[in-house]
Amino acid sequence: MSHEIYLNGSFVPSEEAKISVFDHGLLYGDGIFEGIRAYNGFVFRLHEHIQRLIQSAQSIALAFPWSADDLEEIVVQTIRRNGLRDAYVRLVITRGIGDLGLDPRNCAEPEIFCIADQIQLYPPAMYENGLRVVTTGVRRNAADALNPRVKSLNYLNNILAKIQANDAGAGEGLMLNEQGLVAEATGDNLFIVQKGRVCTPPASMGALEGITRNAVLDLCRLYEIPVAEVPITLHEVYVADECFLTGTAAELIAVTQIDGRVIGSGKEGLLTHRLHEGFRQLVQKEGRPVYDE
């Protein structure tokens, strides 16, 4: 099935959406992106996604001509052109076409494309029964090398960790930072529950400041559940009462086993379930409308 892809100012059929082999996003991973969700015709926290994209661009000195309003409109129009109500959107900006050298000064202008489709990161059985996770030997990028808060096109670090998780037959891989503290999973943020308190590593520990992560923090405060952003060791994950992952594609999913250790009861915990249900309700009522209704 063909999709309408936004590419550099116009919509084209997906089979005609092409970028140059000299694009530095392809040659060097020199670019940024956002994964965004729409639910029931509303784009969830679109403003926050676009602001994070702009911050990523600022961090890697990638100047582009589009305003925040322009970028939001591109996302909305892409969903609308594809007639979707529930969608996963990938908005990508690259440094643009250059030469075979890596010098970004040789790229004339940035390129942009936006894809709207559907996604299911994990099968339904994993949401029902929980996810098995293993700790990978691949460490998260050090913040002073490539800050994980930049959502860049270079995901090789995460991919190598995902390969290790796949080889172990696990649903996800947990990544530690250079200090041996928990950073995040290969594509998701991690939370644990200890004696009624919800904890997640701060972004300074090597985690992306996830939009879904922040939504869960907001829900905890709304429900008056004790919550903290604190360094987390593997030991604390192993002995946690509950554990779950969050992400735009994954949404919220319980972790029931890590490195062979059963977490809590081995099922989705009570607080995890409450936050999961709260998140489902939140995305149905919050967001920018795609259609005039």
In this structure, are 166 and 57 located in the same domain?
Answer: no
Question: Residue 97: inside a domain, yes or no?
Answer: yes
Q: How many domains does the chain have?
A: 2
Q: Which one, of 125, 132, 124, lies nearest residue 266 by Cα?
A: 132
In this structure, are 102 and 128 located in the same domain?
Answer: no
Question: Residue 272: inside a domain, yes or no?
Answer: yes
In this structure, are 148 and 108 located in the same domain?
Answer: no
139: left (phi over 0), alpha (psi -120 to 50) or beta: beta
CA distance 115 to 215: 24
Q: Do 66 and 184 touch, CB atoms closer than 8 A?
A: no
Q: What is residue 126's predicted lDDT score, i.e. its pLDDT? A: 86
Band (pLDDT 50/70/90 cuts) for residue 82 is: very high
CA distance 190 to 192: 7
pTM score: 0.95
Q: What is residue 125's predicted lDDT score, i.e. its pLDDT? A: 84
In this structure, are 165 and 264 located in the same domain?
Answer: yes
In this structure, are 134 and 107 located in the same domain?
Answer: no
Domain endpoint, select from 117, 151, 176: 117
Q: Residue 91's domain is classified under what CATH number? A: 3.30.470.10
Q: What is the pLDDT of residues 133-169, one digit of tens each?
A: 999 999 999 888 888 899 999 999 999 999 999 999 9
Residues 6+ apart with CB under 8 A from 8: 111, 112, 113
Question: Residue 290: inside a domain, yes or no?
Answer: no
Residues 6+ apart with CB under 8 A from 208: 148, 149, 151, 184, 189
Residue numbers of the domain that contains 56: 4-117
In this structure, are 148 and 91 located in the same domain?
Answer: no
| Residues involved in catalysis | 151
Q: What is residue 51's predicted lDDT score, i.e. its pLDDT? A: 98
Q: Residue 180's domain is classified under what CATH number? A: 3.20.10.10
Span 252-272, average pLDDT = 96
Evaluate the CA torsion angle 161, 164, 166, 172 in order and state its sign. negative
Span 67-86, average pLDDT = 97
Q: What is residue 139's predicted lDDT score, i.e. its pLDDT? A: 96
Element (H, E) at 89: strand 87-94
In this structure, are 41 and 154 located in the same domain?
Answer: no
Q: Do 34 and 40 touch, CB atoms closer than 8 A?
A: no
Question: Residue 293: inside a domain, yes or no?
Answer: no
CA angle at 37 for the pair 83 and 8, rounded to the nearest 5°: 65
Mean residue pLDDT of the chain comes to: 95
What single-letter amino acid sits at 99? D
Check pLDDT > 80 for residue 293. no
Q: What is residue 221's predicted lDDT score, i.e. its pLDDT? A: 97
Band (pLDDT 50/70/90 cuts) for residue 1 is: low
In this structure, are 199 and 251 located in the same domain?
Answer: yes
Q: What is residue 122's predicted lDDT score, i.e. its pLDDT? A: 84
Query: In a 10 Å sphere around its CB, with 0-12 CB exposed, 13-18 middle and 19+ buried, how is residue 95 labelled?
Result: buried
Query: In a 10 Å sphere around its CB, with 0-12 CB exposed, 13-18 middle and 19+ buried, how is residue 171 labelled?
Result: buried
Q: Which one, of 248, 234, 258, lies nearest residue 165 by Cα?
A: 258
Q: pLDDT over 70 for what percent of the chain?
A: 99
Span 108-116, average pLDDT = 97
Residue whose structure tokens are 């090789």: 156
Q: Do 258 and 243 touch, CB atoms closer than 8 A?
A: yes
Span 226-246, average pLDDT = 98
Q: What is the pLDDT of residues 181-193, one digit of tens each?
A: 999 999 999 999 9
In this structure, are 45 and 98 located in the same domain?
Answer: yes
Question: Residue 101: inside a domain, yes or no?
Answer: yes
Question: Residue 289: inside a domain, yes or no?
Answer: no
In this structure, are 12 and 110 located in the same domain?
Answer: yes
Q: What is the pLDDT of residues 170-222, one digit of tens each?
A: 999 999 999 999 999 999 999 999 999 999 999 889 899 999 999 999 999 99
CA distance 285 to 276: 15
In this structure, are 147 and 266 located in the same domain?
Answer: yes
Q: What is the pLDDT of residues 30-68, one digit of tens each?
A: 999 999 999 999 999 999 999 999 999 999 999 999 999
In this structure, are 98 and 243 located in the same domain?
Answer: no
Q: Do 6 and 114 touch, CB atoms closer than 8 A?
A: yes
